[in-house]
Chains A and B, each alone.
Chain A
C-alpha cells in the first residue's frame, strides 16, 4: 500500500483496549459461577435489560429518536412466546422467530405513522402505544388478564434444559454479546455512518443519497426486535409473564438507563442497565425503612438522578469513563477491489441546464425566470449580493427545495422534481455553506460518508460485517480523496479539531468520494482567511484540470474572478448578467448591484 508511511494509520502500539475488552468478557463469563444465586438472578435481569437498552442506544443516542415504548415491544416478544409455548406447544426457538415477526410488523406500522414528522411525535406515539398495550394485556382473558400466564417451559439447548439461573445467565450473556457486537458492527459500517449523519438533521444524509425515512423506520424496527428478544429471554427466565414489567413505567426506565449510562455508546447502555438495576434493588430495601411506608419510592430517586444527569452530564456517565480509557484504534482493511467509477461526459458537452427557473415563497419571487447552462469541464461562478436568490437557486438544483416552475436538466435527465438523493445518484455532489461535519468522527469516517451512494450494504450485512470488502474499497477511496485535497496526513484525527478552512476542504473531499460529474460548492470561501482562500483556489483549479466540473455559489468577488471560466450574476432573484470575468467586471449594472445605490444621486 502506498500509504504505508502515513504516520497515523496504525499508530496505537498497545492493543490496550482489546485487552480490556477481553478482560471484561472473562469477568462476565466467570460471574454466573462466582456470584451467590440471588445475585445471579439479578445479573440475568441486568443482561436482559441491557439488550433492550442497546436498541435504545441505536435509536435514541445515535439517530436521535426517542421511544418510551420499548417495554411494550418486550411485552410483545414475551407474550408471543408465552402463548405459543403454553397453548400451542411450539418450540421456544420457533416462538422467538414468531415474536420477531409480530414485533417487526407492529414497529413497522408505528414507524410508518410517526417517523415522517418532527422528532417529538414518535415519543408521544410510543407513550400512547405503551399504555394501550398494557391494558390490552391486562384485559384479555386469553392472555391471563392482570394475573398473567404461568408454566412457561424453559429453553432447551441441545438437550440441556436451562432452568437454573446460572445456566440461563450464559444464554443471556450470549444474547447480549451478539446484540452488542452487532450494534458495534453496525456503527462502524456504511449504514452506521448514515445513522450518525441523521442526527445532525436530514440535510446532509439526504444530500448523499440516504433515504432518511426508510433508515429511521429500519432502526426503529431493529430496536424493537432487540426488545422483543429481551422479552423472550425474560419470559423464559421468569417462567411466567404478567403485564407489569411491560408497562409504560418500565419503558421509561429503559430510557433512563440509556440516558444515565450514556446513550451514544453501546457500553454506556450496558453500564446504565447495570447501575439502575442495582440501584433499584438497593433503594427498595433502604427507602421504605426511611419513609416508613411501603411503595416503590425508588422512582423519586431515579427521577431526580435523571434530571441531574441531564443538567450536569447530558451525554451520560460513559463518556466520563471513556476519557480514561485508551482511544479506540482505527483499523484499515486491506483493499481487494476498487469501487466502480462513473463514465464522465466529454468536456464541452452540456451538463446542467436551468431553463426559466422560478421559485416563489408565498408572494415573493425568490428566483424569477433564471436560465443558464453549464458545460462539462468548466467552472461556473454564481454570484450576487446577499438575498439575491443564489442559495435558493442552489437548493433548487440540488433538490433540497424544488422549483415552482421552469425546468432543470442534468446529463440529459429532467431533475426539476427529483429528490436530493436521486439527483446525487446521477452524479451531483455538494458542500454546505455552514459546514456540516460530524466533529466526533475522524476525517476518514466523515469522508467515507460521501461514498454512501456508491455502496450497497444494507442493515443486515452491516450488522454481521458481511460488507468488509465494500467497506475496504470505500476506506481506500476516501483516503485517496483526502490525499487529493491534501488532508491525507490527518485522516485519523477528529474532524472537530480542524480549522474552518480545513473543514471546508474536508467537505470537498467528502463530495469527491461520491465520484461526481458535477461538484456544487455553496459559498466555500465564506469566513476563510486569505491563505486558506488561496489554498482553496489552488485546489479547485487542480480539480478542474483533472476534469471535474464545478458550479460555485460565492460572494467573494476576488476569489471568483481568479478562478472561474464564466459567471452568472444574480440580483433580486433575477439574472443580471452572464459572461467571462472580464465582461462582468466591465458591466455597469453589476457594479451598481455590488457597491449599491448612490445616496447622492436623485436625492434632495
Chain B
C-alpha cells in the first residue's frame, strides 16, 4: 500500500477522526491509570477488561439476556462482605460483622431482583447504559477490597503481578460469560455531520464530547471537592493523608470506583466502533497505559495527550500497515522509556 496515500485529502481526515475518537477513549483510560497508580500504587492492567465488560454487558442487555457480570458481582460482593465481617470479628465487634453480611445479602438480592426484572423488558438505550454501569462500576471497589486491600503494604511489583493475575481471571471469565464471538453495539447516534471538508459521524463527535465532559468533571472533582482533594492528598503523601483521617482503604475504594466507571463508560462509547471480543481488553488498556507512561505515571495532561497520540498513530498505522499496527504502537513505548530514562535523574535511596 502506498504510504503517501495517507495524506490524500479524502483519507487523511477520516483517519484523523478515527484516531481522535479512539484516542479520546484511550485518554480516559490513561487518566484512570494515572489516578489508580498515584493513589494506590497499583499498576491497574485489568482496566482494559472493565472496558470489555462495559461493551459486552451492554450488548447482552440489548439481546435481553442477563449478563454473567451479575454473577461475578454477586460472588465478589459475598467475598468482600465475608472479608469485611472477618475484620470486624477480629476487632471483637462480631455484631458489626453480622450487620455487614446482612447488608451485603440484601444489596445482592436487590441487584439480582432488579436485573431479573428489568433485563427481559429491554429498556431504552439510556436505561441499558445505567443498568450496565450499575453492574460494572461496583466491580471496581469490590475487586479493590478482595484483591488489593489485603496487599496494601506490598511493593509495586507484587501489586503488578497481582494485576496481571487479575487480568487473566477477568479475561477467562469474559470468555465464560460472553463466549468467544465478538459483539458490536449499535451507535448511540446515527448519521454524519460535515464540518467544512471534514465529515464526522455523530457517534465520533459524541465520543469526543462525552470524553471531554468527563475529563472536565474529573478536573472539577479533584480541584473543588473534599473527596477529590482527599484523593490527591493520598497520592501526594500517604502518611500525611492518614494523619488527617483519610484511610488508604477508603481512598482506594473511591479510586477504583472512579476507574471502573470511567472504563465502563469508555467501553460503551467505543463499543460501536470496535468489534469487541472477550480478550480485546488487554490491548485497549495497554494503549491507555502507554499514554500514562508518556505522562510518567504522574502527569494527567501529559497522559491524556500521549493517549490521543497513541490513537492517532494506531489509526494511521492500521491504514498503511494494518498487520504491524500493534508492533508499531507497542514499540513506541521503547523510545518513550529511553527518553524517560535519560531525563529522569537517578535518585539515591533516602537516608536520613
Contacts and interface: CB of A to CB of B under 8 A. Distances in A.
Within the complex, are A and B direct neighbours (CB within 8 Å)? yes
B114 interface: no
A295 B171 CA distance: 11
Interface string A119-144: 11101110111011001100100000
Given A203-B348, A259-B161, A310 B154 contact: yes
A433 B351 CA distance: 8
Interface string A522-552: 1000000000000000000000000000000
B286 A131 contact: yes
A303 B162 CA distance: 8
A456 B326 CA distance: 45
B222 interface: no
Contact of B337 (A125, A135, A391): A125
Interface stretch (A30-38, A110-118, A218-226, A564-572): A110-118
Contacts of B236: none
B166 A124 contact: no
B274 interface: no
B350 to A, nearest CB: 9
A169 to B, nearest CB: 29
Contacts of A522: 351
Contacts of B326: 131-132, 135
Contacts of A113: 334, 337-338, 341
A73 B335 CA distance: 20
Contacts of B105: none
Contacts of A128: 286, 290, 330-331, 333-334
A240 interface: no
Contacts of B341: 113-114, 116-117, 121
Contacts of B176: 291, 293, 295, 297, 300
Contacts of A238: none
Contacts of A249: 168
Contacts, number: 140
Nearest to A434: B351
A314 interface: yes
Contacts of B331: 128, 132
B175 interface: yes
B344 interface: yes
A311 B168 contact: no
A232 interface: no
Contacts of B166: 303, 307
Contacts of B327: 132, 135-136, 139
Nearest to A130: B330
A334 interface: no
Contact of A297 (B155, B175, B293): B175
Interface string B277-304: 0000001001001100100000000000
Contacts of A119: 155-157
A117 B173 contact: no
A330 interface: no
B8 interface: no
Given A117-B341, A310-B154, A139 B180 contact: no
B168 A125 contact: no
Contact of B160 (A64, A123, A135, A295): A123
A395 B324 contact: no
B165 A256 contact: yes
B169 A304 contact: yes
A395 B350 CA distance: 10
A201 interface: yes
A210 to B, nearest CB: 13
B352 interface: yes
B168 A302 contact: yes
Contact of B157 (A120, A293, A311, A432): A120
Interface in A553-604: none
A391 B352 contact: yes
A152 B161 CA distance: 35
B165 A307 contact: yes
A124 B37 CA distance: 14
A132 B169 CA distance: 23
A300 B158 CA distance: 19
B161 A300 contact: no
B157 A300 contact: no
A128 B167 CA distance: 16
A68 interface: yes
A540 to B, nearest CB: 21
A56 to B, nearest CB: 11
A117 B340 contact: yes
A202 interface: yes
Contact of A300 (B169, B283, B348, B351): B169
B195 interface: no
B164 interface: yes
Interface in A385-429: 391, 395, 400-401
A95 B149 CA distance: 48
Given A127-B286, A300-B173, A400 B351 contact: yes
B325 to A, nearest CB: 8
Given A128-B330, A139-B323, A297-B176, A66 B157 contact: yes
Contacts of A127: 286
A300 B168 contact: yes
A307 B165 CA distance: 7
Nearest to A248: B282
B351 A432 contact: yes
B118 interface: no
A256 B162 CA distance: 10
B204 to A, nearest CB: 27
B151 A310 contact: yes
A171 to B, nearest CB: 32
B43 interface: yes
A117 B344 contact: yes
A299 B157 contact: no
A132 B325 CA distance: 10
A72 to B, nearest CB: 12
A346 to B, nearest CB: 33
A203 B160 contact: no
Given A121-B341, A203-B349, 5 more contacts: A124-B337, A127-B286, A256-B165, A295-B180, A307-B147
21 contacts: A66-B157, A117-B337, A117-B340, A120-B160, A124-B333, A128-B334, A131-B286, A131-B326, A132-B330, A132-B331, A201-B349, A252-B168, A291-B176, A293-B179, A295-B180, A300-B172, A300-B173, A303-B167, A307-B166, A310-B158, A522-B351
Which are the 6 A-B pairs with shortest beta-carbon distances?
A303-B169, A300-B172, A306-B165, A303-B168, A303-B165, A128-B333
Interface of B: 43, 147, 150-151, 154-158, 160-162, 164-169, 171-173, 175-176, 179-180, 283, 286, 289-290, 293, 323-324, 326-327, 330-331, 333-334, 337-338, 340-341, 344, 346, 348-349, 351-352
Interface of A: 60, 64, 66, 68, 110, 113-114, 116-117, 119-121, 123-125, 127-129, 131-132, 135-136, 139, 201-203, 206, 249, 252, 255-256, 259, 291, 293, 295-300, 302-304, 306-307, 310-311, 314, 391, 395, 400-401, 432-434, 522
